[in-house]
Structure 1
Amino acid sequence: MMKKYIIFSLIMVGLTVTSCQDYLEVESLSKTSQDVQFGDVSNATSAVVAIYGELIGDNGYGNRLSVILPQGADDFETSGDYNCNDRRGISMYEACSSNPELNNPFKQLYSGIERANLCIKYIPSSPVYQNGSQSDADMMDRLLGEALALRAQFYYELIRNWGDVPFQDKPSSDYENLFLEKTDRDIIYEQIIADLEEAATYVPWRTEANIPPTRLSKGAIKGLRARIALARAGYSLRRDSQQMEQGANPQEYYAIARQECLEIMQNSGNHSLNPDYEDIFRSLHEGRADNTNEIMFEVGAFGGNSKTDSKLGYYNGLRHDRASQWNGGAGVNAIPVYFYEFNRVDLRRDVTINIFQVNAKEMTVVAASNRWTDGKFRKSWTDITGPSQNLAVNWPILRYADVLLMFAEADNEVNNGPTSQAIDALQQVRARAFMGNEDQIEPIPTGKQAFFDAIVQERYLEFGGESIRKYDLIRWNLLNDKFIETRQKLTDFMEGTGQYAGYPEVIYYQEATYDPSLSAQQVVENLDIFFTGNDSSAVFYNATPDPSQVPAGYTQAQWLDGITPEYIDSERKGFMQYFEPNRKELLPIYDDIINTNYNLTQDYGY
């Protein structure tokens, strides 16, 4: 595929990378290098840490894999105007194959696979693995399990963005010809699902080895296996038919997902729902595990550079004026109608969506509805100020809430309707969201389709801004349906009709002091918004007050008026303007990658 090899001396330094542009023939790795690298646990650990290093950076989950490639659903989109050769082309489903945003993420994923392949090959044959102490052998097993699981994650990311891709399951030096053809994704899925099953036998539970969330535990591996099994059971755009089709034997993979999630739930002393939803995301900014280890696996960021750090909170997240001490955010915008999908007492709403921004005077101002941002990442939640772009904010790959909802979904499929366990799993997630207002939780349906619909909605509310929604809608084959539905909602929002009838066209506000130590909900409650009546929270649901009643000194922010026909349907800004079902569910491969390998083809109409 890509003619480059990572030699052992580079792996030993952990995070040093060979150039993605090197397509060089090199000699096979010497036995001495193998023995040195895998001859003791310390050096072997360095080799596995180097695999983790390919998760992060601008081309990994520090930016492109986390908040650029996944954009384009009914929760969030990339800000700005359409251009097929930048991030907005991806978000609006009209990325050109010359779009440079597609290049390095693809290559970095294969770089991670190469590093994993080296470890998977050489750890089992190492002297310390075969003849060392039992404790050394156990640690080498754990390292092997991590390498298998990381390779699975890299391939999952390739498949969900590009579909069928070349499958390389051994080091590059073991191939006579690296110009590999694409392999059917189901074949790759079969291998990585098997790999994850094996990996889970090697890696301990979090509490057994005090494993931090930036390293894989048994629970995290089982959760990833459940996620990939659901993807295998679901729909994807197929090369041969050029249609969205469900994978063969889906019940087998629903059963795998259900069982893996059940085993995690039965070991809930390792992970549990954090009663403080906001703490989950604060922890990512503060370099610590969240209070109950709900985040089961997150990508570590550090170093202040584009290779090992992240731009989370600077590229995306709350908009801080450049003249403020924080300076950053606003690369991702909320779809305005998403705000109203939340019940007004749902504690997730104000964590997930920022309806305000921080101005040059470091005061909060209400933002127009077409400028709301994703709230789970905020530079002002870090201790970094000034123009810094790399903020060492980690990216969450898997949360325990996802395990509960995956279990509920899989159980519903396996049993042709939800069991009491599935209903309870969904109820746990809802109860956290409505803490203190449990009486407003709607009854959970018991019919198969109605329960599935409830899962679709709950995942929508629970994971907004975590780059999950697009891929959920694809595997359910609901992407086009949700886009049609959302366009109608946006039209109703703009016109103040339907469910938005009687909502405010504008909001009147004054600047308020911004204090990032306050909770997200407190910041919203402290916004100085003019309202009539006794309930300040009703200001978002009541008609615009008579301007003659508004005291002097208040400023207008466009609310329903923030949406115009151009926002819904225009070449520059239209909502998912260029999406075409049975074509745009996958991305094109970057031109230079196609040109480098004569066995690669550009499929799906690109």
Structure 2
Amino acid sequence: MKKKYIKPLLVSLAMGGLLTFSSCESYLDVENPSTVSQEAVFNSVGYTSSAITGIYNKLMGDNGYGSRVSTLYPNAGDDFIVGGAYNPLDRRGISGFGVHPDNSEIYRPFLEMYAGIERANIAIKYIPLSPLYENGTEAEQAAMRKMYGEALTLRAIFYHELIRNWGDVPAQFEPSADIPDLYLPKTDRDEIYDRLLVDLQIASDLVPWRSESGDPSTRITKSAVKGLRARIALARGGYSLRRESGVMERRSDYRDHYQIARNETLDIIQSGQHSLNPEFEQVFRSLHTAGGDPTNEHIFQVGAFGGNSRTDSKLGYSNGIRIDRNSVYGAANGQLEAIPTYFYEFDSLGDSRRDVTLAYFTINKDDNKELVSANVMRDGKFRKYWTSIAGTNQNLGINWPILRYADVLLMFAEADNELNGAPSAEAVAAYEAVRSRAYTGYEERMGTTPTGQTEFLEAVRQERFLEFGGEGIRKYDLIRWNLLEQTINETRAKLTDFMNGEGRYANVPQYVYTIPTRFNNAPDVSAEMATFDLFGGSVAGAMYTPAPASTPAGYTRKNWRAAVNADYVAQYAVAFEPNKSELFPIYSGVLNQNYNLTQDYGY
């Protein structure tokens, strides 16, 4: 492959600063097909805004948060997995923790992240050089500084995604045209993260609060910068698989990074810019439609638009509830499946998150809702019928949540507890705010918040497990806590107990009996579930108490505990190897393009 360098920056306004890969599709080789010079672009606020839009566009699409990065990469923990039999050469290899270097699912997203970085690098170089940056009108200077901060933040998002999936990666912070040799070796992730934390500190001074800019949650605001800086600080201060030692380690300065996380999240909390939506379900319905987030719980979400594979999402089709193609609501595939034991992590009566997070019914061709078996529950936060799009459409315009205020509260609680040796009153309040929202009307079932450091940390970890299921957070939390191997082993043990009806699952029925009922698309999930016809009455009666061995008259039997057998247990995280599977290999085609890259971590 020949090395190529960036041609003069050209911007297609219609596509928001489109940059495309050449036919050999190398992260080293970026071409630029537009018709406006660099100087013209960054001498205009409007053109610069279009270039920034082009960076945002690289977040979405099939190779970004519209599909693979959001639905395939994170779902291999103890909440959701990718359904189907393990195959190291396709998407199920990711969920089984045995990705082969020739697995094409790890190829294009890798390229996509570097395309976003290249776009950001160009903007980061040229915006401060623009005469508008220092000498424009007050409004022009403010706009250019804001966009400079956005570019710094977007670059940090791309690098964070690369690091948490691949570990140490080649890092460039200048446009490719300025780099004499693009065959870069890997850079230690700590060095990259340290650079990003500085960049985000700069960005937080440039980007205004939402109340000052009036921007929607699909645009970077000061809260987004600070919240993402906290997330990256916790990753930097957490455990990760190291190239040098070949084991999971965290650095001795980890407390410094917990301090950054605490400071940034506290700033957001004290700003008063955001609060929790009082209804957990509405947090996710709002991703499907314009508006609907009056409390600004969504601090940053990736916008989906255009009905195509580049800038739209397949959320609600590739994940979410499964719908028969002949239903009036149209086809939805729902390839993500919940671990059956996840259902029983939620309180049986009080936790409103269970029936939003877990979709344990499907819509059949007759528009009836049918109970599914325990092993094929889907993630319920993304539902095609919450949109206005029916038919066979796969691009549904559903946004992806990058950062919610609930995450800010729980990051603050975790960091505060770590630094103080016990939770402060503010940390307890942050934790309880998230928990009490879930238990609205059932507050007496919340339990008592622990005050010891270890016990409170465990409570926060469990709350994150329940709060963020299906949002691409759990696996990475487990990795930074160095709990992935332990959790996989514990989940296998839970699944075995579930299969055998032992321990906490002793009263879980082997079968559940149901009659299909009309799906009404009720205004809230609880109203829809209230019309479910289950033998035993409510979900609390049918799924938590033993049922008869024979099918009652008029009912249909569905496997519940019986859906989990020895093969299912054996296939869970089937290829996991500690100190290897925490990261992906670099795709072999990428490795072959750069003689300075190495395949590490035991691959």
Q: TM-score range by the shorter chain?
A: over 0.9
**1:431 partnered with 2:436:** yes
Task: State the AA in 2 paired with 1:223.
Answer: G
Whether contact under 8 Å (1:261, 1:407) holds in the other structure is yes
- The correspondence for 1:335, drawn from 306, 331, 339, is 339
Q: 2:223 aligns with which of 216, 219, 226?
A: 219
Distance 1:27 1:219, change over 3 A: closer
2:20 to 18, 21, 41: 18
Q: Who is 2:509 aligned against?
A: 504
Q: How far apart are the structure 1 equivalents of 2:211 and 2:53? A: 20
- Name the CA distance, whole Å, in 2 between partners of 1:350 and 1:578: 31
Equivalent in the alignment of 1:310: 313
Map 1:339-418; keep pairs closer than 5 Å: 339-344=343-348, 345-418=350-423
Instruction: Determine helix, strand or coil for the equivalent of 1:45.
Output: helix
What do the CA deviations read for 1:281-326 (whole angstroms, capped 9, x no partner)? 1011113252311010000111111001100000010011122132
Aligned partners of 2:10 and 2:33 also within 8 Å: no
1:221–1:474 distance in 2 versus 1, CA, 3 Å: same
Q: Answer whether contact 1:237 1:585 (CA < 8 A) is retained.
A: yes
1:326-362 alpha-carbon deviations (Å, 9 max, x no partner): 2113210000000000001200000000111111111
Q: Is the 1:4–1:25 contact (alpha carbons within 8 Å) kept by the matching residues of 2?
A: yes
Residue from 33, 38, 43 that aligns with 2:47: 43
Name structure 1 gaps, 5 residues minimum: none
Identity, % of aligned positions:
50
Aligned residue in 2 for 1:561: 562
Where do 1:574-593 residues align within 5 Å?
574-593=571-590
Correspondence list, 1:231-270, <5 A:
231-268=235-272, 270=273
Quote how far apart the aligned CAs of 1:522 are: 2.0
Q: Give me the whole-angstrom Cα distance separating, in 2, the residues matched to 1:36 and 1:28.
A: 15
Q: 1:182 to 1:375 in 2, by over 3 A?
A: same
* Secondary structure, counterpart of 2:301 in structure 1: strand
- Could you say if the C-alpha distance between residues 300 and 431 of structure 1 is closer, same or farther in structure 2, counting changes exceeding 3 Å? same
Cα distance in structure 2, aligned partners of 1:25 and 1:33: 20
Which residue of 152, 169, 173 corresponds with 1:165?
Answer: 169
Q: What are structure 2's unaligned runs of at least 5 residues? A: none
For the pair 1:183 / 2:187, whether they are aligned, the reply is yes
Could you say if the C-alpha distance between residues 432 and 4 of structure 1 is closer, same or farther in structure 2, counting changes exceeding 3 Å? farther
- Counterpart of 1:16 in 2: which secondary structure? coil
Per-residue CA deviations over 1:425-459 (Å, capped at 9, x if unaligned) read: 00000100000011111111111111111111000
Contact 1:287–1:393 (8 Å) recurs in 2: no
In the alignment, the residues of structure 2 paired with residue 350 and residue 28 of structure 1 have an alpha-carbon distance, to the nearest angstrom, of: 47
- Paired amino acid for 1:17: L
Matched residues in 1 for 2:31 and 2:291: separation? Answer: 43
What is the one-letter code of the residue matched to 1:207?
S
- Tell whether the 8 Å contact from 2:169 to 2:187 is kept in structure 1 after alignment: yes
Q: Distance in 1 between matches of 2:404 and 2:333?
A: 24
Are residues 502 and 45 of structure 1, via their aligned partners in 2, closer, same or farther at CA, if it must alter by over 3 Å? same
The normalised TM-score by structure 2 is 0.96
Question: What is the aligned partner in structure 1 of residue 599 from structure 2?
Answer: 602
Q: Distance in 2 between matches of 1:439 and 1:557?
A: 33
Please tell me whether the aligned partners of residues 237 and 586 of structure 1 are also in contact (alpha carbons under 8 angstroms): yes
Once residues 12 and 263 of structure 2 are traced to their aligned partners in structure 1, the CA distance between those partners, rounded to angstroms, is 36
In 2, Cα distance between equivalents of 1:278 and 1:523: 13
**Residues 517, 27 of structure 1: CA spacing in aligned structure 2 closer, same or farther, 3 A cutoff?**
closer
Contact 2:60 2:313 in 1 (8 A): yes
Secondary structure (helix, strand or coil) at the match of 1:8 reads coil
Per the alignment, do residues 7 and 334 of structure 1 end up closer, same or farther by CA in structure 2, a change over 3 Å counting?
farther
Are 2:469 and 1:469 aligned? no
Residue 192 of structure 1: CA displacement? 0.2
Measure the CA separation in 2 of the matches of 1:312 and 1:164. 29
- Aligned 1:124-135 pairs, distance under 5 A: 124-135=128-139
Shift in CA distance, 240/526, structure 1 to aligned 2, threshold 3 Å? same
> In structure 2, do the counterparts of structure 1 residues 29 and 544 end up closer, same or farther at CA, with 3 Å as the change threshold?
closer
TM-superposed deviation, 1:526: 1.4
Aligned-partner Cα distance in 2 for 1:128–1:30: 23
Alpha-carbon distance between aligned partners in 2 of 1:562 and 1:492, rounded to the nearest angstrom: 13
- 2-side partners of 1:28 and 1:341: how far apart? 50
SS of the residue 1:61 aligns to: coil
Paired residues of 2:89 and 2:99 also in contact (CA < 8 A): yes
Equivalent residue number for residue 64 of structure 2: 60
Distance 1:248 1:108 in 2: 33
Instruction: In structure 1, give the amino acid aligned to 2:450.
Output: P
Instruction: Assess if the C-alpha contact under 8 Å between 1:6 and 1:18 holds in 2.
Output: no
User: Is the Cα contact below 8 Å between 1:510 and 1:528 reproduced in 2?
Assistant: yes
Offset at 1:5? Answer: 3.4
2:583 is matched by which residue type in structure 1? L
* Distance in 1, Cα, partners of 2:44 & 2:11: 17
- Given residue 555 of structure 1, which amino acid in structure 2 is its aligned partner? T
Amino acid corresponding to residue 18 of structure 1 in structure 2: T
Deviation at 1:523, TM superposition (A): 2.0
Contact persistence 2:241–2:583 (CA under 8 A): yes
Amino acid at match of 1:568: V
Partner SS, residue 99 of structure 2? coil
**SS in structure 2 opposite 1:396?**
strand
Q: How far off its partner does 1:391 sit?
A: 0.5
Q: For 1:165 and 1:400, how far apart are their aligned partners in 2? A: 30
The match for 2:544 is 541
> Would the alpha carbon gap of residues 82 and 198 (structure 1) be closer, same or farther in structure 2, given more than 3 Å must change?
same
- Counterpart CA distance in 2 for 1:18 and 1:137 is 30
- Aligned pair partner of 2:147 in 143, 149, 174: 143
Distance 1:94 1:196 in 2: 34
Provide Cα deviations, 1:549-572, integer angstroms capped at 9, x if missing partner: x2x221001111110100001xxx
* d(CA) in 2 for partners of 1:536, 1:185: 46
Cα deviation digits, residues 247-296 of structure 1 (max 9, x gap):
3300100000000000000012x211000111111011113252311010
Q: Please give the TM-score of this superposition, normalised by the length of structure 1.
A: 0.96
1:82–1:88 CA contact under 8 A, matched in 2:
yes
